[in-house]
Amino acid sequence: MMLSEETSAVRPPKQTRFNGAKLVWMLKGSPLTVTGAVIIVLMLLMMIFSPWLATHDPNAIDLTARLLPPSAAHWFGTDEVGRDLFSRVLVGSQQSILAGLVVVAIAGMMGSLLGCLSGVLGGRADAIIMRIMDIMLSIPSLVLTMALAAALGPSLFNAMLAIAIVRIPFYVRLARGQTLVVRQYTYVQAAKTF
């Protein structure tokens, strides 16, 4: 009896291209994702176009229009000195979103760097970095943020820096965990031998 070796033809990899129908099908299964994405996109668009969407000057004081309720002229009403609240919310959203992005960028970069460093070095450096992160996590984040903001001084950047410093331990733990997993891969172990 003769055995024959069967070989199968190797298929070339499929060309991946954007498939709008598949995206729509995936999004239909997750309406909360679509709702959240729509809200975020609307907020970003309102932030970008706020100078043109604002119905009034956000800093214009009109004492005759103090504490008005929402109306066609003032969509969110007015404050105690007659400033239009809708215009102030639109213009203020620019700094709020910018502050959030800066906080995530600082905390993400510093935390990822420290976490990877801790995971790669191991030993005493890992123990020291992780004990500092544990101490930071043991202090309530609001208290630590307020203490850091008070120590750094009153400014928007100092507030962003204080919030970012408090968020660093979360990124450190995540990056360290992933680094420890990758350290065990065969190709990393093989690279260490050279």
Question: What is the mean predicted confidence (pLDDT) over 162-189?
Answer: 94
Tokens linked to 47: 């932030």
Average pLDDT in the chain: 89
As a whole number of angstroms, the distance between CA 121 and CA 175 comes to 13
Cα dihedral: 168, 171, 176, 181 (round 10):
180
Check if the beta carbon of residue 94 is closer than 8 Å to that of residue 47: yes
pLDDT at 2: 57
Packing angle of the helix pair 123-138, 85-121 (nearest 10 deg): 150
Give the pTM: 0.73
Residue 1 scores a pLDDT above 60: no
Please tell me which of 45-49, 68-72, 109-113, 183-187 the model is most confident about, judged by mean pLDDT: 109-113
Instruction: Name the percent of the chain lying above pLDDT 70.
Output: 91
Residue 97 scores a pLDDT above 70: yes
